[in-house]
């Protein structure tokens, strides 16, 4: 029994980890957090980064990360507006999309994406949805964007997506979510 005690401790410690969110929150614009990767293609320009996004209705914090985990850019939204810090420079604006385009040369549709990452359309804006046989959103169209969902965390119709591809006017964004965190 003594030989197996360290193994038992390790196994039990693994069970004590924080729960991973796999189902969509019941309310729209509910808090979420995830770690993942993003790749953006605009014409001949390609860019990619790791991503850490913590969201609640009052604010967002998005970290864009280099391959070894260093923060390349920090985007913060609250009721006072949006800031972006990168390479010792500080930018401010009223919306995230304009700020990202000015500072990074590309943009994510963050005002809609905060809903789309949970496979929901942004409220009060016309949209169309196509669902697969499991009832999961397969394609969402809104604000000129077509969002394709190709992988989910579970088979349930309210499971959180793990792979999204966004497309509009020559811009393609691939978002891979490695880990959802319970909020």
Please check whether residue 5 lies inside any domain of the structure.
Answer: no
| CATH value at residue 90 | 2.50.20.10
Please check whether residue 12 lies inside any domain of the structure.
Answer: no
Please check whether residue 3 lies inside any domain of the structure.
Answer: no
The reported pLDDT for the residue numbered 60 is 93
pTM across the whole model: 0.82
Distance of CA 182 to the CA centre of its chain: 14
What string of pLDDT tens digits covers the 183 residues of the chain?
Answer: 444 344 333 333 444 444 466 877 667 778 999 999 999 998 888 889 999 999 998 999 999 999 888 999 899 999 888 998 988 899 888 887 788 777 777 777 888 898 999 999 999 999 999 999 999 999 999 999 999 999 999 999 999 999 999 999 989 999 999 999 977
Residue span of the structural domain in which 89 resides: 18-181
Please check whether residue 2 lies inside any domain of the structure.
Answer: no
Ordered alpha helix ranges (H), the chain:
5-15, 96-104, 110-116
Please check whether residue 123 lies inside any domain of the structure.
Answer: yes
């Amino acid at each position: 029994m003594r030989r197996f005690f360290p193994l038992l401790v390790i196994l039990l410690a693994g069970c004590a980890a924080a729960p991973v969110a796999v189902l969509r929150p019941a309310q729209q614009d509910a808090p979420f957090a995830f770690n993942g990767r993003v790749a953006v293609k605009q014409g001949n320009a390609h860019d990619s980064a790791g991503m850490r996004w913590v969201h609640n209705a009052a604010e967002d914090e998005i970290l864009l990360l280099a391959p070894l985990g260093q923060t390349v850019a920090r985007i913060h939204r609250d009721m006072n507006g949006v800031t972006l810090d990168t390479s010792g420079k500080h930018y401010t604006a009223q919306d995230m999309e304009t700020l990202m385009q000015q500072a990074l040369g590309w943009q994510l549709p963050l005002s809609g994406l905060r809903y789309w990452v949970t496979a929901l359309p942004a409220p009060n804006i016309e949209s169309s949805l196509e669902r697969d046989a499991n009832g999961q959103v397969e394609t969402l169209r809104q604000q000129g964007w077509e969002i394709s969902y190709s992988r989910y965390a579970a088979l349930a119709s309210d499971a959180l997506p793990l792979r999204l591809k966004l497309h509009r006017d020559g811009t393609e964004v691939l978002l891979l979510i490695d880990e959802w965190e319970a909020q």
